[in-house]
Structure 1
Amino acid sequence: MTPRHRPWETTTDFAIGLRPIAVADWLEGGEADPAARKDALLAVRPDLVWAEAPGSRPGQVETLEMVEAALGPSPALPGLPPLYAAARRVPDDLCLMEKHDGAWRLTALSLSAGSFFTAEAVIGRSLAELHAPVTGFAERLLGRVQRVFEGLRPGLVLERRNWTLLNSADLHTPTPTPIRARIGAITPADAGRALQLRVERQTLRRLPRTGGALFTIRVWLTPLESLADQPERLAAFATAWRTAPAAFRAYKRLDLYDPLVEGFLESAGAAPR
């Protein structure tokens, strides 16, 4: 099984990397019943997976309309916030960004596959605050990202992808602590099955009526062992892993997996470091 997206083959650094795609390609699908997965999480810990700020409902309604335009109308359960009703129909997490007091802020989100963050922790945050943990983001990328949001025009869909590697096959990973605590139990022989390539496919669209921006995050998981029988793909990943910049490696904590990944690469036939 080849990973659907392989961003490590094109970049191993923090980059905006946005490209325009056709409106018809906005949502990738690929999950039979995302509502069942998301509803189960909402029932147990709603604070982790859902949040909305006062005044965000008009933007939420427009988000639901946009999803229905792409997928067709569907009866919604009564009483649901519009953004959550939209999120139940797609595998993606949905994040509504709106401009308040001169800053783009996260005003509503359905977050069922967050990578080490939760809805309650990020609601209301600005672009700068959301990306503060990313090394060098403020100096290198913040101004460019803000210009993207300002210049986003209706009808344009932008896409980007990023990646990491985790010892978890769960989409919902709100905290790294339990995941990283299990690393020591993985043997080199099990590394290919235990380690997952975690790719985020993200899109950005303007909400033409209310003026906000909708940010979507679709997470794809593929076992590292999927590369074992594809020499060119394996070699590309080995190069990306070994040459990733220090800041990228530190933020993603790739160092935690170095012995396991190197053991896998050696056993799969990749050239030694």
Structure 2
Amino acid sequence: MTLGFSVGALMRHARGGGALRMGLVRVAENDWLQGECDRDARAAVFDAHPDSVAVLPEGEAAVAELCALLVAPDLAAAARTHWEDLCLLAPGADGQYRLIAAALGFPTDWRLADKMGRPLTAIHAPIHGYAEQLAAGVDHFFATLKAGAIFGRANWFIVASDDWRYLPTDDPATRFAHVTADNAGRALFLRCERQTLRRLPETGAVLFTIGIAVEPLAALETPIVRRVADAVTHISAGEHERRAAPFYADALARYAAARDDLVEAAE
């Protein structure tokens, strides 16, 4: 089973609403990272945001190992020549995995400076239900992941732009104020994260990669739009608000219903 790189392919593996889950699939070495990519876009973002690369002193050995693996002189160069953002985590004295180095060019609503040096539970603190539903499983996975194995998963968000960097600072009510059932296909975008995890054999650090794919709803197949609309209605209350769903959920549901009606009329 392959994870794929497009929004359509990734959504086959993404969870719907309900309880949080890792939803991991095995990834073959030759399917690990995206091949052809827009390297100009990657270079431009790191030129414009040099603070998007950070390495703690305890992360230097892991960065050197990663750069040897990716045949790059340093972490910034590795991130410029690959589509994926690169995050390295290693256990501290307390055994908790912490973010020790990262090149984050295309973040989805989080800032590197806020996460550096922090453990997994603190990194994921904004996600409602993470501590109760997912933290123990994630900690166990990180502790037991074997070198040589690669796992992947997909995450998704409904957003208001197709910008590669998604760091909105405006009020959600303003951000989604223009969205209606009639224009949702053009005004709303499905943003997917293709995430992979593998352990570096020498340092034992875990590499977490994030590759972004974005499409307007109008470009997606109707079953995907329906699945996303249904998932939004079943997201837990806290996550519903964190994802700004109250400001687009109704328009999304009505847009999905209209798409369904068109499909039925054509059959």
TM-score computed with the length of structure 2 as normaliser:
0.86
53, 58, 62: which one aligns with 1:59: 62
* Paired residues for 1:217-236 under 5 Å: 217-227=210-220, 230-236=221-227
Alpha-carbon distance in 2 for matches of 1:235, 1:159: 24
* Paired residues for 1:261-272 under 5 Å: 261-270=252-261
The count of corresponding residues between Structure 1 and Structure 2 is 255
Residues 245, 93 of structure 1: CA spacing in aligned structure 2 closer, same or farther, 3 A cutoff?
same
Indicate the residue corresponding to 1:27 in structure 2. 33
1:250 matches 2:237: no
- For each residue in 1:132-164, what CA deviation from the matched residue of structure 2 results, as whole angstroms up to 9, or x when unmatched? 111121122112111111111110001111111
Indicate the residue corresponding to 1:89 in structure 2. 81
- For each residue in 1:178-225, what CA deviation from the matched residue of structure 2 results, as whole angstroms up to 9, or x when unmatched? 776332133433210121001111000001001101000011101111
**Conservation of the 8 A alpha-carbon contact between 2:46 and 2:80:** no
Residues 265, 21 of structure 1: CA spacing in aligned structure 2 closer, same or farther, 3 A cutoff?
same
Indicate the residue corresponding to 1:205 in structure 2. 198
Indicate the residue corresponding to 2:114 in structure 1. 121
* Paired residues for 1:11-26 under 5 Å: 11-13=16-18, 14-26=20-32
Alpha-carbon distance in 2 for matches of 1:232, 1:118: 33
- How far off its partner does 1:249 sit? 2.0
Structure 1: state its 5+ residue gaps.
Answer: 69-73, 77-81
RMSD over equivalenced CA pairs, Å: 2.4
- How far off its partner does 1:176 sit? 4.4
Indicate the residue corresponding to 1:194 in structure 2. 187
**Conservation of the 8 A alpha-carbon contact between 2:42 and 2:81:** no
**Conservation of the 8 A alpha-carbon contact between 1:234 and 1:270:** no
* Paired residues for 1:165-204 under 5 Å: 165-177=158-170, 181-204=174-197
The code of the aligned residue for 2:25 comes to R
TM-score computed with the length of structure 1 as normaliser:
0.84
Alpha-carbon distance in 2 for matches of 1:65, 1:178: 43
Residues 113, 100 of structure 1: CA spacing in aligned structure 2 closer, same or farther, 3 A cutoff?
same
**Conservation of the 8 A alpha-carbon contact between 1:114 and 1:174:** yes
- How far off its partner does 1:109 sit? 0.6
Alpha-carbon distance in 1 for matches of 2:179, 2:244: 17
**SS state at 1:148 partner:** helix
1:44 matches 2:48: yes
**Conservation of the 8 A alpha-carbon contact between 1:116 and 1:176:** no
Structure 2: state its 5+ residue gaps.
Answer: 1-5, 263-267
Q: 4+ residue runs of structure 1 moved beyond 4 angstroms? A: 7-10
The code of the aligned residue for 1:269 comes to D
Alpha-carbon distance in 2 for matches of 1:201, 1:63: 19
The code of the aligned residue for 1:263 comes to R
